[in-house]
Each structure stands twice: as C-alpha cells, then as structure tokens.
Amino acid sequence: MTTTMETTTETTMDRERERAPLTREVAIGIAGAAALGAAAGSGHGLAMGLRGAALAPLLFFGGAALALPPMVLCGTWSGSRATLAELGRHTAGTLGALGRALLGLALPAAFLSATVRTRAGLGVLVATLSVAGLAAVLRQARALRAAEDAPHAWLAIAAWGTLSLGIGARLMFLLSRNLGGAP
C-alpha cells in the first residue's frame, strides 16, 4: 500500500516529465524567432540586430497569445472537449515547429539583410514571416482537428483560423509600416 506522500511525489514527477517537452518546444520557438530577428537586422548594424532578436519573439509569441482566446471560444462554441492543457500542448508543439523553421530561415535572412537594403528586401522579409505564420496556423488547425471529435469542430477551427490569420495580417502590416515598407 502506498502512502499519500509517495503518490504525491509520483504525481509531481509525472507532471515534471510532461512539462519538459513543452518547455523545450517553447524554448526552440523563442530561439528560432530571436535568430531570425537578429539575422534580419544584422545587415543594418548591431543595434538593429539586437532589436530584431528582442522583438521577433515578442511578435511571434504575441501573435500566438492573441490567437489563444479565439481558439478557446471557438472550441467552446463547437462543443469541444479539449482541455486548456491540451490546447497548450498543441500550441507549444506548433511554436516549436515554427521555431525550427525560423532557425532554418535565419541564414538566408542574414544574407538578404546584408545584401538588399531596399523596400523589396523588406517586402521579402515580411512575406517570409507571413508565410511562416500561415504555416503555423495551418499546423495548429490540423493538430486541433486531429484531436477533436465534436461534430462541428471543423467550423470552429475554420473560424479560429480566420481570426488568427486576420491577427497575423494586421501584425505584418504594422511591422511593414513601422519598418518603412508601407505608407
């Protein structure tokens, strides 16, 4: 017969084992966004590289944070049985996958930043970030659909995806405008 203390310790250890991959995925997401931001700004001096490294994770994680409430609301309206923890695991996995993609784009972004200093270069950067965001939304939608068995889940996921893409488009427009790419 186990004691309450042993059971509590085992439960705590199980939770820690479950959190480790989530922490790793989020760390990869932060590293990828920071690397791309630093690379994109590096051709314009050290200060811009550091600014890019600091702002890029805020942009990507801010976009993800803005998309979470609509995801929860759409899931609730569709009768979803997914818990907040499950949504968090899916989101952490998506952020990790996006971080890996952004790490792969860091070297080409550094080359682009060092060689092209026109509005066209900025347009390519914003377009690349937009495609990465779209891929992340599609991956998250696919993961949610695979985990959901509610009859109208596809409608809720489509509504969430549309809201998320709208948020991302607005963030990309603001980024482009603030960096001098749009009037």
> What is the token pair recorded at 78?
């569709």
In a domain, 30, yes or no: yes
> Residue 160: what pLDDT?
76
> Residue 148: what pLDDT?
67
> Residue 137: what pLDDT?
78
> Residue 31: what pLDDT?
92
> Residue 136: what pLDDT?
80
- Which residue's entry shows tokens 């050290």? 46
> Residue 166: what pLDDT?
80
Average model confidence (pLDDT) for the chain?
75
Model pTM above 0.85: no
Contact in structure between 63 and 171 (CB atoms under 8 Å)? yes
> Residue 15: what pLDDT?
58
> Residue 10: what pLDDT?
56
- Residue 160 belongs to domain spanning: 4-178
In a domain, 162, yes or no: yes
Contact in structure between 59 and 40 (CB atoms under 8 Å)? no
In a domain, 96, yes or no: yes
In a domain, 174, yes or no: yes
In a domain, 72, yes or no: yes
In a domain, 183, yes or no: no
> Residue 170: what pLDDT?
78
In a domain, 103, yes or no: yes
> How many structural domains compose the chain?
1
What are the mean pLDDT values of the chain's consecutive 10-residue runs (183 residues total)?
Answer: 55 57 87 87 82 84 79 74 78 87 85 73 70 79 71 72 78 67 45
pLDDT tens for 102-141 read 888 888 888 877 787 666 666 677 777 777 777 887 787 7
In a domain, 9, yes or no: yes
Element (H, E) at 140: helix 119-147
DSSP class of 181: S
